[in-house]
Amino acid sequence: MNRFKSRQKASTNGGFTLIEALIVVIMVAILMGIAAPGWFAFVNRQRMKTVQNDLTEVFRQAQTNAEQLRSQQFVTIDTAADVPTVRVNGAPQVLGSGNINPGFITLSSNITPATISFDYRGMPVETASIPFVVRIRPDGAGVQQCVIVANLLGSIKTASNAQCDNVTAASMRAE
């Protein structure tokens, strides 16, 4: 008779209870809340660094073109544009590979109009505007990056935060 007894099947409950699932979701949300500000700060720094690198390259390319073409090259910083934009001899170039949201990063200059020109030797023409500083700031943040045409020879330097505000011709010559 033992052979014919119906065997009770062991009840196996697979999966998670609703409370367990909610606890996991809450823990993930807390971890995301902790990590999100750091992640956004990292992304913002990378975007600013990209614009800084692009702007440095624009200045260097303008110097090279001035030397190769034996003619003056003008770089104008478009401070009114929604996305970081410069004009090289009137032709607009968007900085940051086009990955910058409108209004997110602003460009400003220490002179008005924000234009620098390089002569046929690749040197800045307007000596009174040296050092020429272009500041790169994310909207609403206190951090900044900058690109500096530092001296009469046209050397191009990069700096960040307080270094951008304390730029003088004498300090740039000493470096």
- Whether 150 is in a domain gets the answer yes
Tokens 């009137």 sit on residue: 90
Q: What is the CATH number of the domain that holds 27?
A: 3.55.40.10
Per the structure, the complete domain to which residue 142 belongs is given by 18-174
- Whether 13 is in a domain gets the answer no
CA-to-CA distance for 158 and 149, rounded, in angstroms?
A: 9
- Whether 8 is in a domain gets the answer no
- Whether 2 is in a domain gets the answer no
Contacts of 95-100 with CB under 8 Å at 24 or more apart are 95/50, 95/51, 95/54, 95/55, 95/58, 96/47, 96/50, 96/51, 96/54, 97/50, 97/54, 99/47, 99/50, 100/47, 100/51
Domain count, the chain: 1
- Whether 6 is in a domain gets the answer no
- Whether 102 is in a domain gets the answer yes
What pLDDT tens digit does each residue of the chain (175 aa) get? 555 555 555 556 677 889 999 999 999 999 999 988 888 888 888 888 999 999 999 999 999 999 999 999 999 988 888 888 889 998 888 888 777 778 788 888 888 888 899 999 999 998 888 898 998 888 777 788 999 998 989 899 999 888 888 876 445 544 4
- Whether 103 is in a domain gets the answer yes
- Whether 1 is in a domain gets the answer no
Residue 172's alpha-carbon distances to 97, 111, 161, 163, in angstroms, are 29, 17, 16, 11
The answer to whether 88 and 75 are in contact (CB under 8 A) is yes
* pTM score of the predicted model: 0.76
CA-to-CA distance for 27 and 95, rounded, in angstroms?
A: 39
